[in-house]
Amino acid sequence: MCMNLKQHIKTLEESHIKPDVRESVEKLDEVLADAFFEIGSSGFMYDKKECLESGVVLSEMSLHNFEMYPLADGVVLTTYFIVDKTRNRNSYRSSIWKLIDGRWQMYFHQGTISPLSLEEALKKA
C-alpha cells in the first residue's frame, strides 16, 4: 500500500476530528460522501443530511494506532483508537473512504466505546 495514500487518508481522518471541521457545514460537506452513513458510539445511525443539519459532537480528540486496509480500487478501510478528552472516554473507530470524483471522501464511519486506556490500546497495536 502506498505510504503517501496512507498518510493522506490519515490526514483526512485527523482533520475530521478537529472542531473547526466538525462545526463547519461546508467542510463536513466536503469530507462526507453524499451517500455517507454512520453508526455512532451511541448506537444510533446517522446519514450525511443529519450530520450537516444537526451537527456532530465537538470534542477534543486525539487519534492513535492508525491503520489502513485496501478493499478495492479506490476504496480503503481505516481503523484507529480515539481518546476523547472532552467526554472522558475512548473508542475504536473505523471508516470506509472512497475515491469519488477525484477526491477521497468518507463513505461510512463507526465508533465503538472502549474501556481500554490509551496505554492498553497501544500495547494491543
Give the per-residue pLDDT at 70. Answer: 96
Q: Alpha helices of the chain — where are they, by DSSP H? A: 3-16, 19-22, 25-31, 48-54, 118-124
Which domains occur in the chain, in start order?
3-124 (3.10.450.50)
> Distance (Å, rounded) from C-alpha 28 to C-alpha 95?
15
pLDDT digits 0-9 by tens, 12-38: 998 888 877 767 788 888 999 999 999
How would residue 2 be classed by pLDDT, with cut points 50, 70 and 90? Answer: low
